Structure 1
Amino acid sequence: MATKKIILTVEKTDTGFSAYSQDYPIFTTGQSIPELINSAYEAAEFYFEDENIKLSNTDIKFEIDFKQFFKYYKVINAKFLAQKIGMNATLLSQYVNGTKKPSAKQTEKILNGIHQIGQELSEINLLQTA
């Protein structure tokens, strides 16, 4: 059984999210990110159904640009992130607004910072007060 590598570009819409592939006629929508991901797997499996290709979660990669990412994840403050990763806040703001494009090295630095924040948040337990 063959496998494929599919890259889906994610965009924020007025009603939720959309995802599409540049390489295959695969397009889907969802009201939330989890719904979009499920719909994307269904759409991709449907497209490759006749070719006897079974997809796994490692076969589909979701990509989102900085502007779209920060539009959805408003909880991540660009100024805080810039400070955390040692980047000029104005420069990160330009990436977020789409006025400048980050290099691959800068993109990796930003993504590592986002992942670090996510890891830190996933390890926190909040205390309930009476």
Structure 2
Amino acid sequence: MRTVKIPLTIERGEDKQFWGRVEYGENLLTDFASSVSELEEKMKDLLWDFEEVSPESVQFEHLFDVSALFQRFDFLKISNVAEHAGMNPGLLRQYVSGAKSPSLDQAKKIERTLHELATELQKVTIVA
């Protein structure tokens, strides 16, 4: 079976639900859920209903807004990420809360910082 990679844009709603959208074919499909995995399942159902894309063949590429990212990965400490990014922690908190939206440059700076931290973590070896 052929895998279909589809971008899934994930945002946090005012109700703190994850809201997702997918553009496929001629359709813009949207739904919400309390977790990313639940959102994925709902979106796969919509893709089947509207486009007859088999749920087993779908692989989503997650595109998070800053607020949804920090909700999904709630173990990330905002002030530490801001420090690594060379940003004001208060400003990053405003992005996370939705009070302000980051510019594309600021969003990319946050993304680069998270990727750098992930690369460092991949090099870690734990001994017992």
Query: TM-score, with normalisation over the residues of structure 2?
Result: 0.65
Query: Highest CA radius of gyration, 1 or 2?
Result: 1
> Which structure shows the bigger proportion of residues in strand conformation?
2
Aligned residues: 119
**5+ residue gaps, structure 1:** none
Equivalent-residue separation in structure 1 for 2:123 and 2:43 (angstroms): 29
Tell me: CA distance 1:35–1:25, structure 2 relative to 1, closer, same or farther (3 Å): closer
1:66 correspondence with 2:75:
no
Work out whether 1:47 is the aligned partner of 2:50. Answer: yes
Note the 1:1-130 alignment, pairs <5 A.
6-11=7-12, 19-21=20-22, 23-25=27-29, 27=31, 29=33, 33-34=36-37, 36-37=39-40, 40-41=43-44, 43-49=46-52, 57=59, 60-128=60-128
Aligned CA RMSD, in angstroms, stands at 3.5
Residues 28-71 of structure 1: per-residue CA shift (max 9 Å, x gap): 75x75456446644642553228xxxx764xx543322222212
Question: Per-residue deviation at 1:101?
Answer: 1.1
* 1:66-115 Cα distance to aligned partner (Å, 9 max, x none): 22221231211111111111112221122112221111001000011111
Gaps of 5+ in 2: none
- Name the TM-score, length of structure 1 as normaliser: 0.64
Q: Give the secondary structure class of the aligned counterpart of 1:113.
A: helix
State the 1:123 CA deviation: 2.5
